[in-house]
Structure 1
Amino acid sequence: MAPSSVHTPPATAAGSGGIFSPPHLAATLTFAVVMFLTGFAALAVVPTLPTAARDLDGVSLFPVVAGCFVAAGLFGGVLGGHWADRSGARRPLALGMVLSVLTLLVSASSGSVWQLAAGRFVDGLAAGLVAVSVTTAVGQCYPEHLRPRMLALLSAGWVLPSLLGPPLAGLVVQWWSWRAVFYGLAALTALPAVALVLVLRRAPGTAPGTAPGAASRVAEVPAERPPLMVAALLSLGAALGQYGASAWDPRHLAAVAAGVILLVVLAPRLLPRGTWRGARGLPVTVLLRGLTSGTYFAVEALVPLMLITERRVAAVVVGAAFTASAVLWAAASWVQGRVLPHIARHRLVTAGALVMAAAVALAAAGCSGGLPPVTAAAAMPLSAVGMGLLDPCVTVLSLKHSPPHRQGHTTSALQTNMNLGQVVVLALASAVLNACLAAGAGPLPGYRAAFALLLLPPLLVALLAVRARGD
């Protein structure tokens, strides 16, 4: 779709100023607060999970703990996208914020790894609602030329949480308990979440910062019936796949088979036609989101697990790696939005994918006992640089290829395939790891083989990025 064919409401026309101009100020501040809260919780929780799984005797089920979050995000993304198209982004955003508080309490009181997985499932539902609602609202509230800056600002909103969240979580885990991290985050986010819900209720049915006329036009667009049953079954298939990848026996293999069948049959119904074959335009942007997010998610899951369980690295060091990742992601996102706006978006996607491939190679090298653990830890921030360069570009290209009244559907598809990519890539990498362990190869060679597999998705993205070009 040519840039001139993208319709923008009068209140968000090109001449309305920047993201902090009066027409956009309320939306910009609201989205920044939401990203700060969700970023702080996410960045503090993720580095805590390997220690929690170890203490709950659930290291072999760690893919399930991580995968439940992603599986629920599939359903949350579909629900949030259709809800946002039908009545604006406010209500799904408010529900997501409330659920994010509840899930922290469920996880904090975990008596088994299965309760921890249940807490992560609820958290994934909340994250899907919030992510799709915010991205949809960006498309509804801002003209095309402001979207890269707004997406860069949202990434920058993770900087302070990234500086404080992971190191503090690591110190609390090391000196006190991983449960204290969850309880503390619940207390920290409860009051702001309630305040945000009250603010959002003042003008229900419209996205924050959207002009009344624009809101009525969004509401007038007939919304399709949301495929919630399909999304729920797809989430079940994703969860089964993660469970099945945790061991090699008939029960787990049966779970893998059931999960694969559900994914293959149902996933195409939630994605643009031609997504899995990388058709030009919108379909390939959705595919790129799945491949890159899957690689990054697997790196952030397996590298800390390997460092903590095999190389005996302190939790605070892993937290520092998460901090560096978030800061460098935000920095790279700022660079693509403000320093490199003249470079075609698809070229930045290629560059980011090659950086991610180099990061995965570094993680594989760090599995050697002869190299210091920092070698593998450095793969996390390097991978984040690649994601910071390419991820906002994929979003901008997807919105460019989407008509205005279908932007909620588009962001829902992006979220769905992002979660699918995370589930499938992590499951495949975990299966390779567990197969090596079952064959007696040892943990570190198993991790090395898993990281070798993770080289394939970013290299494929580098080859396919040209198909997403927006001209």
Structure 2
Amino acid sequence: MFLTGLAALAVVPTLPTAARDLDGVSLFPLVAGCFVAASLLGGVLGGHWADSAGAQRPLAAGMALAVATLLASAASTSIWQLAAGRFLDGLAGGMVAVAINTAIGQAYPDRLRPRVLALMSACWIVPSLVGPPLAGLVAQWWSWRAVFLGLAALTLLPALAVVAVLRGRSWRAAPAPSGDRPSRPALVIATAVSVGAALGQYGASGWDLRHLLFAAGGLALLVVFAPRLLPPGTWRAARGLPATVLLRGLSSGVFFTLEALVPLMLVTDRDVAPVVTGLAFTGAAVAWAASSWVQGRLLERVPRHRLVVAGALVLAAAVAIAAVGTLPAMPAPLAASAMVVAAIGMGLLAPSLTVLSLSHAPPGRQGCAGSAMQTTQNLGQITVLGVSSALFNACLGSGASDFTGYGAAFGLLLAPCVLATVLAARTRSH
């Protein structure tokens, strides 16, 4: 988790600069979305792999693949190659994230899971303090490619060590009862969902007939295949695991969109130095870890669904700050602070939803529950970012200013926050 946090927090702040240098700002949603789309596929494969063979194998495979992704991204000569590198990175990240959550479900009792999840969040503290500002300085003084190469060098030996240590080990949970074993989803289903998500992100990057056709094709794939990867009743927020899975998608979509569009606005419209956006990511990561620690220690006796409500309300406040921060008269740090406020909300909300999902999962099905959470998280991120980007491009197409477009995109994020607040009671664990 430490290595994952270091790579994620150092790479993401440099992406707007890389997109600008590769003449691909209009395709930035695709670059960000490719990572998420591949994470969806990696999460599905990793979750079922963990249930069948133990969590250590997808964890080791994901770590090894992560090194290759960093090298591929560093060698990018076009925005399309960068998007491909991010796709591979997402595949590795999805496998690692689900493997870690599955291992927690398999190895720890219910009462310790909130604290273990808080410990996982704490692993992001040092990377959050060092990664983003250092990556910003490297990108500003040298090159954004050096960020990818440096991370590959740092990750290589630890990744080999992880593979060697975990080889042959297993902490598998007891098998599910015979009639309650999940059928392994066909690879074509997960692939179709990932392709549909990527097509949707490309469709959201423009506002003409070609982009609309790509968006329609991506939406069709998602409508047909995505429900097969989620618990029945997810789209209608049925009580229990389905509602928990849905809320993970809504909340993650809001946070991810803020994390993508706020730095892009700061770099391209406010001409803010990469190190400043890196500091915003640092503040957000520290705020998330601190908030997660609070929910795991000081608020561990508060019902989890109430913490979900509190987190959703804080997310709504962050959206309002981002919208106000788009005004030209407002200082750039105001918009950057929205990322920190949103992270506080996610630190309360995300671990609570994970605990709820594990409590709702049938015995021996923690991997499937984790896979569903990862899937809907990625679907939510792709959907919310895609709709917000489409609205932004529509505003620009009508002659509105960039600031008007960003304001409209941010304002749209209030809807998922309201839905999460209203539906939180359906996630309650009895």
Q: TM-score, normalised by structure 2?
A: 0.98
Q: Which runs of 5+ in 1 are unaligned?
A: 1-34
Shift of 1:299: 0.3
Shift of 1:250: 1.4
Is the 2:392–2:405 Cα contact (8 Å) retained in structure 1? yes
The residue number in structure 1 matching 2:48 is 82
Matched, 1:146 2:112: yes
- Give CA-to-partner distance per residue, 1:237-290, whole Å, 9 cap, x none: 000000001011111111011011111111111101110111110100000000
The residue number in structure 2 matching 1:114 is 80
Aligned pair partner of 1:415 in 354, 365, 374: 374
- Give CA-to-partner distance per residue, 1:151-200, whole Å, 9 cap, x none: 00000110000000000000101111000000000000000000110011
SS at structure 2 position matched to 1:361: helix
The residue number in structure 2 matching 1:125 is 91
The residue number in structure 2 matching 1:463 is 422
Aligned residue type for 1:409 = C
The residue number in structure 2 matching 1:60 is 26
Matched, 1:437 2:403: no
Matched, 1:400 2:366: no
SS at structure 2 position matched to 1:57: coil
Q: Provide the C-alpha distance between the structure 1 equivalents of 2:108 and 2:183, rounded to a whole number of angstroms.
A: 24
The residue number in structure 1 matching 2:234 is 275
Matched, 1:389 2:348: yes
The residue number in structure 2 matching 1:22 is none
SS at structure 2 position matched to 1:405: coil
Is the 1:278–1:284 Cα contact (8 Å) retained in structure 2? yes
The residue number in structure 2 matching 1:9 is none
- Give CA-to-partner distance per residue, 1:16-44, whole Å, 9 cap, x none: xxxxxxxxxxxxxxxxxxx1011000000
Matched, 1:166 2:166: no
Is the 1:79–1:129 Cα contact (8 Å) retained in structure 2? yes
- Give CA-to-partner distance per residue, 1:35-62, whole Å, 9 cap, x none: 1011000000000000000000000000
SS at structure 1 position matched to 2:373: helix
Q: Provide the C-alpha distance between the structure 2 equivalents of 1:227 and 1:272, rounded to a whole number of angstroms.
A: 16
The residue number in structure 2 matching 1:424 is 383
Q: What are the residue-to-residue correspondences of 1:442-457 with 2, within 5 Å? A: 442-457=401-416
Shift of 1:463: 0.7
Is the 1:78–1:228 Cα contact (8 Å) retained in structure 2? no
SS at structure 1 position matched to 2:282: helix
Q: Provide the C-alpha distance between the structure 2 equivalents of 1:230 and 1:202, rounded to a whole number of angstroms.
A: 30
Aligned residues: 429
Is the 1:286–1:398 Cα contact (8 Å) retained in structure 2? yes
Is the 1:77–1:131 Cα contact (8 Å) retained in structure 2? yes
Q: Provide the C-alpha distance between the structure 2 equivalents of 1:402 and 1:384, rounded to a whole number of angstroms.
A: 26
- Give CA-to-partner distance per residue, 1:113-169, whole Å, 9 cap, x none: 000000000000001100111101100000000000000000011000000000000
Q: Provide the C-alpha distance between the structure 1 equivalents of 2:309 and 2:184, rounded to a whole number of angstroms.
A: 36
Cα gap change, 1:124 to 1:219, in 2 (>3 Å):
farther
The residue number in structure 2 matching 1:314 is 273
Q: TM-score, normalised by structure 1?
A: 0.90
Q: What are the residue-to-residue correspondences of 1:319-358 with 2, within 5 Å? A: 319-358=278-317
Shift of 1:403: 1.3
Aligned residue type for 2:100 = V
Shift of 1:222: 4.9
Is the 1:81–1:411 Cα contact (8 Å) retained in structure 2? yes
Aligned pair partner of 1:50 in 16, 41, 62: 16
The residue number in structure 1 matching 2:149 is 183
Q: What is the CA RMSD across the aligned residues, in angstroms?
A: 1.2
The residue number in structure 2 matching 1:198 is 164
Q: Provide the C-alpha distance between the structure 1 equivalents of 2:156 and 2:389, rounded to a whole number of angstroms.
A: 35
Q: What are the residue-to-residue correspondences of 1:257-272 with 2, within 5 Å? A: 257-272=216-231
Shift of 1:202: 3.8
Is the 2:176–2:365 Cα contact (8 Å) retained in structure 1? no
SS at structure 1 position matched to 2:106: helix
Q: Provide the C-alpha distance between the structure 1 equivalents of 2:16 and 2:247, rounded to a whole number of angstroms.
A: 28
Q: Provide the C-alpha distance between the structure 2 equivalents of 1:312 and 1:99, rounded to a whole number of angstroms.
A: 34
SS at structure 1 position matched to 2:300: coil
Q: Provide the C-alpha distance between the structure 2 equivalents of 1:140 and 1:320, rounded to a whole number of angstroms.
A: 36
Is the 1:85–1:218 Cα contact (8 Å) retained in structure 2? no
- Give CA-to-partner distance per residue, 1:423-450, whole Å, 9 cap, x none: 0000000000000111110111000000
Aligned residue type for 1:330 = A
- Give CA-to-partner distance per residue, 1:84-138, whole Å, 9 cap, x none: 0001011111110011111000000100000000000000000110011110110
Aligned pair partner of 1:240 in 190, 196, 199: 199
Q: Provide the C-alpha distance between the structure 1 equivalents of 2:156 and 2:192, rounded to a whole number of angstroms.
A: 31
Q: Provide the C-alpha distance between the structure 2 equivalents of 1:257 and 1:431, rounded to a whole number of angstroms.
A: 13
Is the 2:102–2:366 Cα contact (8 Å) retained in structure 1? yes
Q: Which runs of 5+ in 2 are unaligned?
A: none
Aligned residue type for 1:279 = A
SS at structure 2 position matched to 1:274: coil
Is the 1:86–1:219 Cα contact (8 Å) retained in structure 2? no
Aligned residue type for 1:271 = L
Matched, 1:367 2:330: no
The residue number in structure 2 matching 1:19 is none
Is the 1:87–1:218 Cα contact (8 Å) retained in structure 2? no
Q: Provide the C-alpha distance between the structure 1 equivalents of 2:228 and 2:147, rounded to a whole number of angstroms.
A: 39
Q: Provide the C-alpha distance between the structure 2 equivalents of 1:54 and 1:97, rounded to a whole number of angstroms.
A: 29
Q: Provide the C-alpha distance between the structure 2 equivalents of 1:110 and 1:468, rounded to a whole number of angstroms.
A: 43
Shift of 1:218: 6.8
Q: What are the residue-to-residue correspondences of 1:5-16 with 2, within 5 Å? A: none
Q: What are the residue-to-residue correspondences of 1:21-32 with 2, within 5 Å? A: none
Q: Provide the C-alpha distance between the structure 1 equivalents of 2:117 and 2:185, rounded to a whole number of angstroms.
A: 26
Aligned residue type for 2:388 = A
